[in-house]
């Protein structure tokens, strides 16, 4: 297959497997999505989804999050790991949203990236899943699969994002971002990788991985 044929194959197979991929993090609106994505750093979505219902029951908006206070936030989110850093970020960004954005999450990736504890990936996820803007957030699954499929060199997530945006149609970015994540979780794990189960990689993957 040519590279363009491989790209088409991936798009078609992912659409067949995951025609309507759900957003994996439970949330009510863009603020709770932002908090959930922030918490998911170095933590599984499953664990985040166990923690956020209690957190959002107490504070599901910036004003209540500020009232909740940094120490209480840290206590609640401790199972997600990195609680001191994440609680500080959540508390401070909530104050900034109140002071500078009337309590709303800005629909601007540069503004999001300036918020405490919000990096490029978190901002991209919010723009994609919250505002429907075409972005291609790269998590560990996407980074791994883009390398296994021979679509990127695996040297950095920055390069992987560039390559994904270059190869895939822009109108498919938001959907593919989720579809690749679900494929990685179900068919192409980082540990205990079963090449027989990972049929996309078996069909188009790097020859060095298939020996």
- Say if residue 36's pLDDT is above 90: yes
**Long-range contacts made by residues 68-77, C-beta under 8 angstroms, separation at least 24?**
76/51, 77/39, 77/51
- Cα atoms in the 13 Å half-sphere on the side-chain side of 63: 3
User: What's the average model confidence in pLDDT over 25-45?
Assistant: 97
Residues 48 and 125 in one domain: yes
Which among 130, 163, 185 is the end of a domain?
130
Measured CA distances, 210 to 5, 27, 87, 202 (Å): 19, 39, 43, 7
Mean pLDDT for the stretch of residues 51-55: 98
Q: What CATH number should be reported for the domain holding residue 206?
A: 1.10.1670.10
* pLDDT attached to residue 35: 98
Residue 207 has pLDDT above 90, yes or no: no
What would you measure as the largest C-alpha separation in the chain, in angstroms? 57
Confidence bin at 21 (pLDDT 50/70/90)? very high
Per the structure, how many domains does the chain have? 2
pLDDT-derived band at 190 (thresholds 50, 70, 90) equals: very high
Q: Are 165 and 191 part of one and the same domain? A: yes
Instruction: Supply the pLDDT for residue 148.
Output: 97
pLDDT at 107: 98
pLDDT at residue number 182: 98
Q: Is the pLDDT of residue 101 over 80?
A: yes
Question: Structural domain of residue 191, as residue ranges?
Answer: 3-21+136-210
Pair (11, 57) in one structural domain? no
Give the CATH number, domain containing residue 70. Answer: 1.10.340.30
Per-residue confidence (pLDDT) for residue 32, from 0 to 100: 98
pLDDT for residue 130 is more than 90: yes
Which CA distances in Å does 152 have to 145, 158, 159?
A: 9, 10, 7
Has residue 211 got a pLDDT over 80?
no
pLDDT in the model for residue 65 = 98
Please tell me whether residues 164 and 90 are part of one structural domain. Answer: no
Q: Does 103 share its domain with 50?
A: yes
Q: Kindly state the tokens that stand for 60.
A: 């599901």
**pTM listed for this prediction:** 0.94
Number of helices (H), then strands (E), belonging to the chain: the values are 13, 0
Confidence of residue 208 (pLDDT cuts 50, 70, 90): confident
Q: How far is CA 96 from the centre of its chain?
A: 23
Task: Give the model's pLDDT for residue 137.
Answer: 96
The residue from 102, 130, 158 where one domain ends is 130
* Rounded average pLDDT over 186-193: 96
Residues with active-site annotation: 121, 139
Percent of the chain with pLDDT over 90: 97
User: Same domain for 155 and 199?
Assistant: yes
For residues 7 and 82, state if they share a domain. Answer: no
CA 152: distance to chain centroid? 18
Average pLDDT, the chain: 97
**Residue 33: how many CB atoms within 10 A of its CB?**
21
Task: State the CB neighbour count (10 A cutoff) for residue 102.
Answer: 9
**Domain stops at, among 130, 157, 186:** 130
Q: Residues 43, 78: one domain?
A: yes
Residues 154 and 197 in one domain: yes
């Amino acid at each position: 297959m040519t590279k363009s044929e491989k790209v088409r194959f991936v798009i078609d197979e992912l659409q067949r497997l995951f025609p309507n991929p759900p957003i994996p993090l439970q949330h009510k609106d863009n603020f709770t999505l932002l908090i959930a994505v922030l918490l998911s750093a170095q933590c599984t979505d499953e664990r985040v989804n166990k923690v956020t219902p209690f957190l959002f029951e107490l504070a599901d908006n910036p004003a209540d999050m500020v009232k909740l206070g940094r120490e209480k936030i840290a206590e609640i989110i401790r199972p997600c790991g990195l609680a001191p850093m994440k609680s500080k970020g959540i508390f401070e960004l909530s104050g900034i949203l109140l002071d500078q954005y009337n309590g709303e999450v800005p629909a601007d990736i540069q503004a999001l990236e300036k918020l405490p504890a919000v990096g490029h990936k978190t901002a991209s996820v919010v723009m994609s899943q919250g505002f429907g803007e075409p972005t291609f957030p790269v998590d560990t699954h996407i980074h791994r699969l883009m390398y296994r499929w021979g679509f990127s060199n695996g040297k950095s997530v920055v390069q992987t994002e560039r390559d994904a945006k270059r190869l895939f149609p822009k109108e498919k970015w938001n959907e593919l971002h989720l579809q690749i994540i679900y494929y990685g979780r179900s068919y192409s794990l980082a540990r205990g990788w079963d090449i027989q189960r990972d049929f996309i990689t078996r069909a188009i993957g790097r020859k060095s991985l298939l020996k």
